[in-house]
Amino acid sequence: MGSSFIWIIIQYFNYNFKRIRITIVDFLSTFYLWLLPLSSLPLIIHLFFNRKYRTIEYSSIEFLKILKVDSMKRIKIVEILLLILRTLIILFIILMLSRPVVHGSFSKSISSSNPVFCLIAIDDSFSMTRSNNTVKILDFYKQDVSKIISTLPVNSKIEIISLSDTMKIYQGLSQSFSISSLNGQMKQSASSLSLLNHYMDTKKDEFNKELHLLSDLDASLFLTQKKQITNEWNVFIHDIDEVETNISILNAKILNEIPTINEELEIEVTVQNTSLNDIKNSLLILNINNVNVGQLQFDLMPKETQEFTFKTVLSSSGEYSCVFEVIHDKYFGDNSYYFPININSDFKIGVLGNVSEQYYFLENALKALKTKNPNLSYAFENELKNNQNTLVNNDINFIYGFNYIDENNLAPAIIDNFNLGGHNYIFPASDSYKANKFSDFWDYLSINLGEAKLTNYNNTTSYELSEKNIYNKNIKDILSIKDTDETIMQMHKYFIFNDSKNPMIAVNGKSIWEKFNNGQGQINLLGFNLDLEWTDFPVQASYISFIDRIINSSLNHKPMNLYVGDLIVRDNNYKEIKDPSGKVFKYINSKEDYRILQSGLHNIIKKESATNFYANIPLSELKRKKIDEKDLVKYIQRYILIPQNADLGKITNEARIGVELWKIFLYLAIMLLIIEMVISNQFFRRI
């Protein structure tokens, strides 16, 4: 019996205390403990009746033969055993009526009616629903919040907030709560536990504080959490993971450094199976300007991430609106990814030089490119010198002559263009160059052109420029170098810049192409001209493509990565923003910045123009990585993790009060009573 008792206790503790730290045993109904002396009644009765005996003389010794010494000892042992059993039965019944409890780590009061301060923080981030439609908080959390409220003692104070912005959804007493008070909508942005921590710091004056955290426990929730939630709070973590089979498009990017017309574009897309189920025969589609340009089928293992590459060719310039779509599951919010492709759109070029022969091949290349790109425009010396504002606003300027800027007093205009993000390419006009002693422009760049030296080959020799001379990856892309042994051009003469700071191309370790950066602005100083006196490059088939890539390199082909939840700061030129659903935000009628609320193509209407931007769900919400339970203690000092289908009432009651043991004592009393009846019955039958 002893071993059975121990086994029952161990099994009960294993089942009920696996989330609770045992600290002390107490009783809910202490009144019944006054009945403990009654457990001595079997002993008193036993002693009382054993004292009343009388001697009986037998006329025959037949009965004396039956009586054995060992039988008398056995009777005594049985009597003592029955005495112990009856004492324990009464003791266990009294303990059962006293309702003993084992306190858990959350127990602060033995009374189950003490009110608490309950903060319910609901995760309203995108990863909870992965929906592209509006989802009401009421519809998503109705059952979960109702269960929590039903477990609270009367007069408990309640506050319900959203994790994404700690907006207060409800405040009041538990008995006054109505489920219709759950206002608001689920977001397409991310949530952060750090905001919750700041909010909890404002509740230091409350007592018996409980936090109910309802979340899918995605690791992104804890990324910015630096402060641990202390043991002042009793934390219940409700693991709510509604998403089943699901594929998420994580990212899309253009692999070409410079997208150009009539050249193959490679676009890489990354997808992840965020579920625990195998994905079979899912369809991935690339749409450009609402036209399906490619699709493929794929399979993914659980939690697997994979990249796929699509290839296409675009025959005209402009901005292309692109979207990847996956067709497989019912969670449409992460089944699309939006991005643009910009090719040579609205581009202004300036060409400055004293002699037109210096830029003869450049002018012909620009004419050829303009036939394919009507938005490309270029102007020459006379127009630009007479209207320097045009020079300042150009996207790119080609300047012939190291002294040209200073001689024509264009230093302020070129420097302004540089600071505004313009790209400038400066070539030598001749092989005879004499540096100015004072130069506003070159002094601004802190370069001494007086140390530039000319290298000139005779008519029968030249220098073969190849991949080994290229010091910068972007220049390799502009020159479209694929073979490391390929000769890029034959160079007849070039200047070497001994005062080198950022070489792009070098010969024998000496720079012949210097680059100066200022944010997005660039000034490129080349030691050679792109005409036949200096190189054979203008007569190569790749020359026009080279000019096209130079133009494209000054465009911002990598647009700003905007995500749902980001702010578009007010700009005096902005009039309104139209979101993908057609809703218009007017800056004129609002003093606030615009917050992106949904993914897709947005249109910004400016005073004199319009532009687009593309927003997607934050990567942290698209990826699925659940936090390891053992890592939770890094962020929350004391907590109970509640599985989705667990008995919430039982878990919260045990955490607040403790685990009641009355059932154990009831089972033991019944078991001992049965044993006592069996022993008594067998014993008296033999007497």
Q: What is the DSSP string of 290-358?
A: TEEEEEEEEEE-TT-EEEEEEEEE--S-EEEEEEEEEESSS-GGGSEEEEEEEES-SEEEEEE-S-GGG
Mean confidence (pLDDT) of the chain: 83
For the chain, the C-alpha Rg in angstroms (whole number) is 42
Number of helices and strands (H, E) in the chain?
A: 18, 34
110 has a pLDDT exceeding 50: no
Which of 237-241, 532-536, 648-652, 674-678 is the most confident on average? 532-536
How far is CA 225 from its chain centroid?
Answer: 13
Residues 182 and 221 in one domain: yes
Residues 649 and 665 in one domain: no
Q: Which domain holds residue 86?
A: 2-104+661-686
Q: Supply the CATH number for residue 533's domain.
A: 3.40.50.880
The answer to whether position 190 is within a domain reads: yes
Residues 353 and 338 in one domain: no
Those residues whose C-beta lies under 8 Å from the C-beta of residue 645, and which sit 6 or more positions away, are: none
Residues 456 and 516 in one domain: yes
Residue 12: the pLDDT is 45
Residue 512: the pLDDT is 93
678 has a pLDDT exceeding 50: yes
The answer to whether position 333 is within a domain reads: yes
Residue 236: the pLDDT is 93
Residues 355 and 398 in one domain: yes
Mean pLDDT throughout 4-12?
A: 42
Residues 259 and 185 in one domain: no
Question: Cα separation of 133 and 578, whole Å?
Answer: 18
Residue 669: the pLDDT is 84
Q: Supply the CATH number for residue 323's domain.
A: 2.60.40.10
Question: Cα separation of 597 and 582, whole Å?
Answer: 12
Least confident range from 100-104, 431-435, 557-561: namely: 557-561
How far is CA 665 from its chain centroid?
Answer: 51
Spatial contact of 515 and 417, defined as CB atoms under 8 Å apart: no
Residues 71 and 139 in one domain: no
Question: Cα separation of 182 and 591, whole Å?
Answer: 28
143 has a pLDDT exceeding 70: yes
Residues 474 and 417 in one domain: yes
User: Which of these three, 509, 528, 553, is where a domain ends?
Assistant: 553
Residue 557: the pLDDT is 44
542 has a pLDDT exceeding 80: yes
Residue 654: band (very low, low, confident or very high) from pLDDT cuts 50, 70, 90: confident
Spatial contact of 456 and 533, defined as CB atoms under 8 Å apart: no
Q: CB 332: neighbour CB atoms within 10 A?
A: 14
Residues 48 and 94 in one domain: yes
- The DSSP code sequence of 245-277 is S-EEEEEEEE--SS--TTSEEEEEEEEEE-SSS
The answer to whether position 112 is within a domain reads: no
Residue 10: the pLDDT is 41
Least Cα distance to 92 among 483, 636, 576, 671 occurs for 671
How far is CA 335 from its chain centroid?
Answer: 16
- Counting the structural domains of the chain, the total is 5
The answer to whether position 109 is within a domain reads: no
The answer to whether position 232 is within a domain reads: yes
Please report where in the chains the tokens 């910045």 appear, as a residue.
593
Q: CB 382: neighbour CB atoms within 10 A?
A: 8
Residues 53 and 159 in one domain: no
Residue 346: band (very low, low, confident or very high) from pLDDT cuts 50, 70, 90: low
Residues 323 and 354 in one domain: no
3-class SS of residue 13: helix
Q: Supply the CATH number for residue 649's domain.
A: 3.40.50.410
23 has a pLDDT exceeding 50: no
Amino acid at 152: L
Question: Cα separation of 575 and 568, whole Å?
Answer: 12
DSSP state letter for 535: B
Spatial contact of 153 and 114, defined as CB atoms under 8 Å apart: yes
Residue 384: the pLDDT is 92
- pLDDT single digits (tens) 330-340: 889 999 999 99
Residues 458 and 443 in one domain: yes
3-class SS of residue 419: helix
Burial of 147 (0-12, 13-18, 19+ CB in 10 A): middle
